[in-house]
Amino acid sequence: MSALAEGLNHRALSMLRAVVAGRAQMRCSSEPDLFIDGVPCCDQYLAHTLAHEGFIEPAHQGAVGKLVPAALTDAGLAALAPAPAAA
């Protein structure tokens, strides 16, 4: 797990949960903007970071500028997994 995954804040985790719930779309671009419930995400810098660090990705390729469903990567799923209980 990357250092970013260990330090994800509540906003980042909420964004990942919106992707899991099927409420998120990404604009196909080198800087993939994130939309939740059809509204641009309030923290596009964090959305870009989540994409560039490999937590979210477009569910499929689209033309530049097109909105497509967002999907979690394996790293995104791992970031949402509950922490193991201490022994």
- Report pLDDT digits (tens) over 26-79: 999 989 999 999 999 999 999 999 999 999 999 999 999 999 999 999 999 999
Asked if pLDDT for residue 83 goes beyond 80, the answer is no
Cβ atoms of residues 32 and 58 within 8 Å: yes
Tokens 């810098």 correspond to what residue? 45
- Residue 87 has what pLDDT? 65
Name, in order, each residue with C-beta under 8 angstroms of 28's C-beta and a sequence gap of 6 or more: 58, 61, 62, 63, 64, 65, 66, 67, 68
Domains along the chain? 3-80 (1.10.10)
Q: Between 67 and 86, whose confidence is greater?
A: 67
- Residue 19 has what pLDDT? 97
- Could you count the other beta carbons within 10 Å of the beta carbon of residue 7? 8
- Residue 23 has what pLDDT? 97
